[in-house]
């Protein structure tokens, strides 16, 4: 009790000084009570804290951004504290049950984590590089957390439900945004996320998970739940169209077309009609027409976004010194040098809008190969899911393939909120596949989640 009283006194004495440092801004002042709350929840029940984080992180981008503070390129706030908490929770899980640590799955991450660590050391922007590396560690932590939480098919089904429940508040907020702002020119729906693109990629993940819930024989769903999901998918699809994110449209459309070709060809007719219906929306029509014009760089003339990206990539790769092709310029090197090599706009600190180009520039060919190695091993692991069920295996592979597709034209690696949901689902799926490879039945304790009998796999 004496120790607790001393801690309270120290906190009370430090509050005035803390307020001075934070400039008496409400968002920044919230960092201290948030830290104390996170600490209490971490001590009380860190597993419930994980569930709370997954449920609410989808609504945190704008609120957490207002709490950031720091010096130069290194800034931190409540969002950074939550990142550290996620990493700590992963460490606690490993320490509590070391025998369950997925050493084989963790080895997939080791090369890219080591190369990125070297990239931090040689970075020109040390503060920003550390932040990027901590973000990558938080993705790995969320992956490990999912592996520990998903020990049966029913556990994985709960994880999918949890991610879907996280979309409820963003969807309600989207409806409000549409009513208030859709009439404005250039409207792009972003809901509670920091950018419309982040919402778009989050929605593509949700749509595939909804299809999994409806079609996978490994997912038990009642008729009312099936009806709710069937009605919810069009709402998610409309939101996706209103984000105006073409790469997400393409990735999502390809996944559903391939699903129809492989499993239910009757859906091809609906999928062929869908683009025609989408073209009736003026903003969608204009967004697609934009790709056919302004494809050449002319000084003081606008370019369409894809042509702009191509010029950015070409400028970066041509500027790179051959000696730097192996190990790159260090983490966040692209942003540091972009004003030097990009002729269109030297006033904004752009990222590459292409994960592969960005990694090649920052951690070289070695780092890019390590990054691709991670996904190659993930795809190989998830391929084993087809032994459980062919259709379910396809949908889980589609989640990773979508990620790789949209990484070609966007800064997907930097979108922390989306990446947490992505790695939580992928980690859970890899856990099930890993259990299957160890000849352990992928079943749940409850009788409503038994594994699919041989001969029924993939049949609906």
Distance from C-alpha of 79 to C-alpha of 29, rounded to nearest angstrom: 14
CA distances from 12 to 5, 15, 16, 19, 26 (A): 11, 5, 8, 11, 18
Comparing CA positions, the residue from 58, 55, 394, 382 lying closest to residue 211 is 394
Indicate the domain borders of the chain.
27-449
Comparing CA positions, the residue from 75, 71, 80, 69 lying closest to residue 35 is 80
Token pair recorded at residue 178: 């549409």
Comparing CA positions, the residue from 74, 57, 54, 75 lying closest to residue 66 is 75
Token pair recorded at residue 381: 């692991």
Comparing CA positions, the residue from 439, 433, 424, 422 lying closest to residue 386 is 433
Q: Percent of the chain scored above 90 by pLDDT?
A: 46
User: What is the rounded average pLDDT of the residues 153-166?
Assistant: 95
Distance from C-alpha of 420 to C-alpha of 142, rounded to nearest angstrom: 6
Comparing CA positions, the residue from 130, 122, 137 lying closest to residue 91 is 137
Token look-up 């932590």 returns 141
CA 340 to chain centre: 30
Distance from C-alpha of 419 to C-alpha of 135, rounded to nearest angstrom: 9
Helices (H), 122-244: 126-149, 153-165, 168-181, 196-215, 223-242
Which pLDDT tens digit goes with each residue over 189-206? 888 898 899 999 999 999
Q: Is the pLDDT of residue 99 over 50?
A: yes
How many Cα atoms are found within 13 Å in the side-chain-facing hemisphere of 95? 6
pLDDT band at 11 (very low <50, low <70, confident <90, very high): very low
Comparing CA positions, the residue from 334, 340, 373 lying closest to residue 354 is 334
pLDDT band at 277 (very low <50, low <70, confident <90, very high): low
With a CB cutoff of 8 Å and minimum separation 6, the contacts of 435 are 151, 442
pLDDT band at 140 (very low <50, low <70, confident <90, very high): very high
Burial 111-131 (b: 16+ CB within 10 A, else e): bbeebbebbbebbebbbbbbb
Token pair recorded at residue 211: 């299809």
User: What is the rounded average pLDDT of the residues 156-166?
Assistant: 96
Distance from C-alpha of 102 to C-alpha of 94, rounded to nearest angstrom: 9
Which pLDDT tens digit goes with each residue over 371-389? 999 999 999 999 888 778 8
Q: Which helix (H) or strand (E) holds 401?
A: helix 390-406
Distance from C-alpha of 305 to C-alpha of 292, rounded to nearest angstrom: 11
Query: Coil, strand or helix: which one is 354?
Result: coil
Q: Provide the residue count of the chain.
A: 460
Token pair recorded at residue 456: 């029924």
- Per-residue pLDDT, 310: 87
Q: Is the pLDDT of residue 334 over 90?
A: yes
CB 402 within 8 A of CB 419: no
* Least reliable range by pLDDT among 299-308, 399-408, 438-447: 438-447
Token pair recorded at residue 433: 């596949």
Token pair recorded at residue 104: 């084989």
Burial class of residue 365, CB neighbours in 10 A (0-12, 13-18, 19+) = middle
Which pLDDT tens digit goes with each residue over 223-265? 999 999 999 999 999 999 889 888 898 899 899 989 998 898 8
């Amino acid at each position: 009790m004496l120790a607790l009283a001393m801690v309270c006194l120290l906190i009370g004495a430090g509050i005035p000084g803390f307020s001075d440092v934070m400039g008496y801004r409400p968002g920044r002042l919230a960092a201290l009570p948030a830290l104390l709350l996170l600490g209490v929840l971490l001590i009380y029940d860190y597993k419930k804290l994980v569930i709370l984080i997954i449920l609410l992180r989808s609504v945190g981008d704008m609120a957490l951004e207002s709490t950031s503070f720091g010096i130069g390129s290194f800034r931190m706030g409540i969002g950074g504290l939550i990142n550290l908490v996620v990493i700590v929770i992963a460490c606690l899980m490993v320490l509590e049950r070391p025998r369950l640590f997925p050493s084989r799955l963790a080895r997939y991450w080791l090369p890219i984590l080591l190369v990125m660590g070297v990239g931090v050391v040689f970075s020109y922007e040390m503060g920003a590089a550390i932040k990027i590396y901590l973000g990558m560690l938080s993705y790995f932590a969320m992956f490990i957390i999912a592996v520990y939480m998903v020990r049966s098919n029913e556990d994985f089904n709960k994880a999918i439900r949890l991610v879907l429940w996280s979309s409820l508040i963003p969807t309600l907020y989207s409806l409000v945004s549409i009513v208030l702002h859709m009439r404005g020119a250039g409207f792009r729906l972003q809901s509670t996320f920091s950018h419309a693109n982040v919402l778009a990629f989050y929605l593509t993940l949700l749509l595939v998970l909804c299809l999994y819930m409806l079609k996978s024989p490994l997912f038990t769903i009642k008729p009312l739940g099936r009806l709710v999901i069937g009605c919810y998918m069009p709402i998610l699809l409309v939101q996706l169209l209103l984000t105006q994110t073409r790469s997400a449209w393409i990735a999502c459309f390809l996944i559903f077309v391939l699903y129809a070709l492989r499993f239910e060809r009757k859906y091809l007719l609906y999928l062929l009609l869908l683009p025609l219906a989408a073209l009736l929306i003026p903003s969608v029509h204009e967004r697609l027409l934009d790709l056919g014009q302004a494809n050449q760089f002319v000084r003081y003339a606008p370019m369409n976004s894809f042509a702009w990206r191509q010029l950015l990539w070409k400028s970066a790769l041509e500027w790179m010194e051959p000696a730097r092709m192996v190990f790159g310029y260090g983490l966040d090197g692209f942003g540091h040098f972009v004003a030097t090599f990009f002729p269109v706009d030297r006033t904004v600190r752009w990222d590459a809008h292409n994960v592969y180009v960005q990694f090649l520039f920052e951690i070289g060919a070695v780092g890019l190969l390590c990054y691709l190695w991670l996904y190659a091993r993930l795809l190989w692991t998830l391929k084993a899911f087809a032994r459980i069920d062919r259709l379910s295996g396809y949908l889980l592979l589609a989640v990773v393939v979508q990620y790789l597709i949209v990484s070609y034209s966007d800064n997907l690696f930097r979108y922390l909120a989306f990446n947490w949901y992505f790695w939580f689902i992928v980690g859970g799926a890899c856990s099930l596949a890993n259990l299957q490879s160890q000849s352990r039945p992928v079943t749940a304790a409850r009788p409503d989640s038994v594994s699919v009998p041989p001969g029924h796999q993939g049949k609906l």
